[in-house]
Amino acid sequence: MMTIFPRAILPEIRKYLDTDDVVVLHGARQVGKTHILYALRDELRAAGRATHYIDLEDSRFVRLLDSGVGSFLDHLSEEGVQATKGEERVFVFIDEIQYLADPSSFLKLIADHHRRVKLIVSGSSSFAIRDKFRDSLVGRTVDFEIFPLRFDEFLVFKGRAGEAENARTAVRIDELRGLFREFVLYGGYPKVVLTPGIERKEKYLQQIIDTYVRKDIRDLARIADIGKFNRLVEVLASQSGQLLNVAEVSSTIRLAKPTVERHLFLLENTYILRLVRPFSGNVRSELTKMPKVFFFDTGLLQMLWLKGLQKEVLGPVFETAIFAELVKRYGRESVLYWRTKDRREIDFIVRDRRRVLPIEAKVRYEQFSPAACRFFAKKYEGAEPYRVVALEGVPEDDRHSIRPWEL
C-alpha cells in the first residue's frame, strides 16, 4: 500500500472543499501535487463522500474531456458516480489540467451549471494554465502553489515529525543540524528525500530535469535551440543568489536579450526559479533595479550547476535553501532583497501586511557583519529586528540569531 505523507498546505486547501470554487494546484513536476490530490480524495472517501479521480497523463481522458462536458458527465455515470441527480456533492480530482485544449471553458461550464460537481485540479505549469485560462474564470477558482518540501515536511517524511519544535538541548540541536544539512545537500523533492543513496538521488534529479525540459518547456514554448536553452539554465544555476544582468547573460549565451527574457518568464512560471526584486520604500525604484535569481530546489540547483550533489554545504546553496524556505512559508511575492548603491546589502527582506523583516543567511554565524542591518534599521524604523540564520557555529545572541528550522 502506498504511503501518503501529509503536507503542510492541506489544512488551507480543506477550507475550500465545501465552497463553489474550483480548487487549482500549481507547481513543478514531482513536487507532490498528485499525492496531495490522493490525500484529499482518501479523506473524503473515509468520510463517506463521493469521489472520482482522472489523470490526464492518459490521453484517452484528454480526448474524453475535450469532447465536452456531456461526455465527462456520461463518464462519471458509467463509473457509478451520480453527478446530475440528488443533493450530495461529488468531488472530482483532475490531474494535469493543462493538457486539455480549452480547460477554461470546461471548468467554467462545470462551475456555472453543475454545482454538485466540485473540481479539484492540478497543473504542472502556471505558464500553460495562464496561457489557456481566460478571464471568464475570474472569481471561480482558488489557487494554491505547491513547492518541494519545507523542512518541517522533510522531517515528517524522515519519520522525525515535530522534532524541531522547542528544540533546546545540544543533542537535539546537533541532530537537527545534521538533518538540515541533508535537506540542503539533496533538496526537497519528495521522491529524492525518500530515496537512499546519492547515486539514486542524482538519477531521479536528472530525470526531473530531462522531463521538465521535454514536457514543460519544449512542448509548451516550442523552443528551437534547446542546446542554448540548456546552457542558459546552467548559467543561471551558477548564479543562484546573485544579481542577474540579463544583458551579460545574453552575451554569454549568445542569445538575443528578448529571447533570454522570454526563457526567464518560462522558468519562473514552471516553478524552477524566481527573480527576486529589491525592497524599497519607493515602488518605482523597486521595479527598476536589478533582480537576483534564485532556484527553488537545492538538489536541482547543484545538478545543473555542479553536475552532481556535493558533500559540503556551499554558501550559495545554503542561501538558496533559506530563500526557498521563506517562499514556502510567506509566498513568492513577500520575499525581497535589499541593496544600496554603495553595496550595503541584506540577503532577504520578508514583507507582508504585518511586517518588514530583514534576514541574513550565512553558513556560519561568524561570517555575519551587522553593519548593513543596523543601517537598514535606521532607515526603516518600523522594521522588525534583523535575524541571522546559520547552520554552523555559535549564535551571538538570542535576539538576532536563529536556526534554519526557526524561520
2 pLDDT band, cuts 50/70/90, is: low
Residue 380 CB neighbours (<10 A): 16
User: What confidence tens digit (pLDDT) does each residue in 89-120 have?
Assistant: 899 999 999 889 888 889 999 999 998 999 99
pLDDT for the residue numbered 211 = 82
Grid cell digits, residue 137:
474564470
CATH of region 10-146: 3.40.50.300
Structural domain boundaries in the chain: 10-146, 152-406
Asked whether the whole model's pTM tops 0.85, one would answer yes
> CA torsion angle for 171, 172, 173, 174 (degrees, to 10)?
50
Contact of 89 with 118, CB cutoff 8 Å:
yes
Contact of 265 with 320, CB cutoff 8 Å:
no
pLDDT for the residue numbered 238 = 97
pLDDT for the residue numbered 126 = 55
User: What confidence tens digit (pLDDT) does each residue in 21-77 have?
Assistant: 999 998 888 999 999 999 999 999 999 999 999 999 999 999 999 999 999 999 999
At a CB cut-off of 8 Å and minimum separation 6, what does 10 contact?
Answer: 36, 39, 40
Q: Which residue has the higher pLDDT, 298 or 30?
A: 298
At a CB cut-off of 8 Å and minimum separation 6, what does 268 contact?
Answer: 274, 275
Three-state SS string over 200-248 comes to HHHHHHHHHHHHHHHHHHHHHHCCCCHHHHHHHHHHHHHCCCCECCHHH
User: What confidence tens digit (pLDDT) does each residue in 301-325 have?
Assistant: 999 999 999 999 999 999 999 999 9
216 pLDDT band, cuts 50/70/90, is: low
pLDDT for the residue numbered 398 = 79
Q: Please name the amino acid found at residue 312.
A: E
